[in-house]
Amino acid sequence: MWLVPANPDEYDLERAFSHFQALDWKRSYNYENGDILFLYVSGSVKKVMYKVEVIDGLVHSNDTVYDQSFWLDTDKYSQAIEGEKTRIRLVDVADKDDLTLPRLRERGLRGNIQGSMKLTGELRDYIMSHFANDVSSVTYPDDLPDLWEGERKTITVNAYERNPIARQQCIDHYGVECQVCRINFEETYGELGRDFIHVHHITPLHKVKEGYVVDPRTDLIPVCPNCHAMLHRKENGKYLTLEGMKERLEV
């Protein structure tokens, strides 16, 4: 596990992760597939905010995942597109005072975070405790395989429902209560259910066009797994709407 600095005055990570499921990062160390990197956002933020997984330690192709519009410093962009890259995917995002620079120093961090550093001991365990294992790997209704004549049928997954940044912004707006049946898992199951909820993308996949940018407040909605599954089923060839679901529950 590594602690890696990211300068928000050079590159807009939040917008980039909202747009891409994976990014190509300048390879400053010999990261290996499966390595976990915790990205420390420097500048005026000064806190660890992103947990990412290395999915390709050394990118050999030329299809580098970079979008110049996310670069705030054009000189740094010119430098970044040169050299070796590591491909990373976003696993989880956190915005907590517990992960600020002073708190990290209390847990064993020495000096400033100016380059990638290996995480060990108490500091590693402390940072890990503030992130989920993998929010983006939560099973959603679209992921559940159908068995058809002994073969597995592949079902398309809506990436917007998995994107940790979009999910978190949606939850920050609505809370973790199901917006259909109103269940709150912490109230029902105690500590086990804290912060557990699915996020549903309201617009059907076939209506999503190229270049579409998701708005977490209007396009996503927190729902429980039961309601989520029903929203992904069709009746007479059509998906039920949120209002339609609510009316059925009232009846």
Q: For 214-251, give the DSSP string.
A: --TTTTEEEE-HHHHHHHTSEETTEEPPHHHHHHHHH-
| Contact of 166 with 186, CB cutoff 8 Å | no
Q: What residues contact residue 64 under an 8 Å CB cut-off, 6+ apart?
A: 24, 81, 85
Q: For position 30, which CATH number holds?
A: 2.30.130.30
Whether residue 9 is found in the same domain as residue 96: yes
Give the angle subtended at the CA of 238 by the CAs of 220 and 240, to the nearest 5°.
45
The total number of structural domains that make up the chain:
2
Whether residue 109 is found in the same domain as residue 10: yes
Whether residue 172 is found in the same domain as residue 203: yes
Domain that holds residue 242: 143-250
Whether residue 6 is found in the same domain as residue 119: yes
Whether residue 117 is found in the same domain as residue 36: yes
Q: Where are the beta strands (DSSP E) in the chain?
A: 2-6, 22-26, 36-41, 47-56, 85-93, 117-118, 146-148, 151-153, 198-201, 220-223, 234-235, 238-239
Calpha distance 196→162 (Å, rounded): 14
| Contact of 170 with 217, CB cutoff 8 Å | yes
Task: Examine the fold and report which residue of 94, 128, 162 is the final residue of a domain before the chain moves on.
Answer: 128
Whether residue 101 is found in the same domain as residue 7: yes
Whether residue 6 is found in the same domain as residue 116: yes
Whether residue 182 is found in the same domain as residue 117: no
Whether residue 94 is found in the same domain as residue 42: yes
Residue 30 domain-assigned (yes or no): yes
Calpha distance 97→38 (Å, rounded): 15
Q: pTM for the whole thing? A: 0.63
- Token reading at 160: 């917007």
| Residue 116 CA neighbour count, 13 Å, CB half | 13
Give pLDDT tens digits along the chain (251 positions): 899 999 888 888 888 887 776 888 888 888 888 899 999 999 889 999 999 989 888 887 666 655 677 888 777 777 777 778 888 888 888 888 999 999 999 999 988 888 889 999 999 999 999 887 655 555 555 444 443 344 444 434 466 666 777 888 898 899 999 999 999 999 999 988 888 899 998 876 666 665 567 788 888 999 999 999 888 888 888 888 899 999 988 87
Task: Examine the fold and report which residue of 100, 128, 156 is the final residue of a domain before the chain moves on.
Answer: 128
Residue 134 domain-assigned (yes or no): no
Residue 119 domain-assigned (yes or no): yes
Calpha distance 235→23 (Å, rounded): 39
